[in-house]
Amino acid sequence: MMGLLSSLVVAGATLVGLVILGAVFLIGVRLVRPAGRAAPGGDADEVRLLQEIHRSLERLESRVDTLETVVLDARAKGRGSCDT
């Protein structure tokens, strides 16, 4: 009877030890590996936002080019008051 009781105590202690080691391992993996994706549709939203920003910057570049052309043409004709 004492042998069976001793075997059960050892088996239980082993099982508890394995559970604790497994938990420590999982926590370690979580800390080392970066977290998964925040939201399933997050990438599509980010892509859409970046595309919108890119289009806005292209329009801004076009406006700046037009403004430079207007200013330089006025300056070449002697109507410009800018001294740079």
**pLDDT in the model for residue 44:** 86
Q: What angle do CA 62, 64, 65 make, to 5 degrees?
A: 65
State the average pLDDT for the chain: 83
Question: Residue 71: which residues within 8 A CB-CB, separation 6 or more?
Answer: 80, 82
Query: pLDDT at residue 83 above 80?
Result: no
Among the residues of the chain, which ranges form H helices? 2-32, 42-76
Long-range contacts formed by 32-39: CB under 8 A, 24+ apart:
none
Q: Where are the domains of the chain?
A: 1-34, 43-79
The alpha carbon of 74 is separated from its chain's Cα centroid by a whole number of angstroms, namely: 47
pTM of the model: 0.44
Q: Over the stretch 39-76, which tens digit does the pLDDT of each residue have? A: 566 688 899 999 999 999 999 999 999 998 888 888 88
13-41 mean pLDDT: 81
**pLDDT in the model for residue 9:** 84
